[in-house]
């Protein structure tokens, strides 16, 4: 049973560019959340998608946007990249929004902005 | 003051030791408490999930929640070198919503 799959695993971008990260949730999970983890820090919540809609958003600027598809997979888009956007981006899925479960995380995409 | 405080360590113990990891929090609305383990270059892996106050045991791991003190703990018995990782506490006020994480505690277990 495949867990949460994220692609790509590593990415290097230049300041000002745009990036798209992808996530396939664990089988049976329909809710996807995205987190940003800077080096030496805990993950910070970006937003959550359920039924193809953004249900909750953390304290991130509008440069961060997302999408969820009918098959529950999701994308995270970041525009106008800044050096400070360099981090590990984690996707987490769960079976049902509002369900009493912990989240399953993917291994993340490491984004480096130069 | 951060919502969730966690001592980053590092914490070094010999194999077989009992390890105690802790987090404090300020938001009394938090009801769901989790502990995640994160190996280097990997995503967090859920270890323990607790609702409200009380204890929960799973093998060598015990999670405790004291809501009156806003304090949660994870105990690891008979620690093994394979337990060497970063341990993250996480919590939320409603089921299935955003998790608020601590910074993580780096644990090293030597054989």
Confidence of residue B95 (pLDDT cuts 50, 70, 90): confident
pLDDT of residue B96: 80
Q: CB–CB of A45 and B88 under 8 A? A: no
pLDDT at position B1 over 80:
no
pLDDT at position B27 over 60:
yes
The order of strands in the sheet holding A64-68 is A5-7, A19-24, A74-78, A64-68
pLDDT of residue B51: 87
Strands A10-13 and B32-38 come out as unpaired
pLDDT of residue B94: 84
Confidence of residue B53 (pLDDT cuts 50, 70, 90): confident
Q: Residues 12..31 of A with a Cβ closer than 8 Å to B: which?
A: 31
CA distance A76 to A67: 7
Question: Which chain B residues are Cβ-neighbours of A48 within 8 angstroms?
Answer: 97-98
Question: Which chain A residues are Cβ-neighbours of B96 within 8 angstroms?
Answer: 31, 94, 96-101
Asked whether A94 and A80 are in contact (CB, 8 A), the reply is no
What residues contact residue A23 under an 8 Å CB cut-off, 6+ apart? A4, A5, A6, A32, A34, A73, A74, A75, A76, A91, A93, A106
pLDDT of residue B24: 97
Asked whether B96 and A96 are in contact (CB, 8 A), the reply is yes
pLDDT of residue B52: 87
pLDDT of residue A1: 60
Among A102, A91, A79, residue whose Cα is nearest residue A17? A79
pLDDT of residue B8: 86
Among A105, A30, A106, residue whose Cα is nearest residue B34? A105
pLDDT tens, chain A, 114 aa long: 679 999 999 999 999 999 999 999 999 999 999 999 999 999 999 999 999 999 999 999 999 999 999 999 999 999 999 999 999 999 999 987 655 567 899 999 999 999
What's phi and psi for A72, nearest 5 deg? 80, -5
Asked whether B104 and B53 are in contact (CB, 8 A), the reply is no
Strands A10-13 and A109-113 come out as parallel
Say which residue, A2 or B19, is predicted with more confidence.
Answer: B19
pLDDT of residue A102: 74
Size of interface A-B (CB pairs under 8 A): 67
Q: How far is CA B14 from CA A70, B17, B22, B35, B45, in A?
A: 49, 6, 19, 22, 23
pLDDT at position B107 over 80:
yes
């Amino acid at each position: 049973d495949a867990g949460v799959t994220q692609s790509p695993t590593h990415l290097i971008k230049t300041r000002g560019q745009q990036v798209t990260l992808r996530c396939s949730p664990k089988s049976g999970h329909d809710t996807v959340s995205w987190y940003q983890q800077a080096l030496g820090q805990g993950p910070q919540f970006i937003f959550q998608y359920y039924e193809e809609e953004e249900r909750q958003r953390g304290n991130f600027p509008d440069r961060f946007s997302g999408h969820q598809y009918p098959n529950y997979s999701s994308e995270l888009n970041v525009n106008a990249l800044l050096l400070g956007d360099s981090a590990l981006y984690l996707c987490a899925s769960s079976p049902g929004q509002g369900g009493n479960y912990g989240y399953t995380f993917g291994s993340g995409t490491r984004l480096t902005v130069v | 003051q951060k919502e969730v405080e966690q001592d980053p360590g590092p914490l070094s113990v010999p194999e077989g030791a009992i390890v105690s990891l802790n987090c404090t929090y300020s938001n009394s609305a938090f009801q769901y408490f989790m502990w995640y383990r994160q190996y280097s270059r990997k995503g967090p892996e859920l270890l323990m999930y607790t609702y409200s106050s009380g204890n929960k045991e799973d093998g060598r791991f015990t999670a405790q929640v004291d809501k009156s003190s806003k304090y949660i703990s994870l105990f690891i018995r008979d620690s093994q070198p394979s337990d060497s990782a970063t341990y993250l506490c996480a919590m939320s006020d409603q089921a299935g919503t955003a998790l608020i994480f601590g910074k993580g505690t780096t644990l090293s277990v030597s054989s």
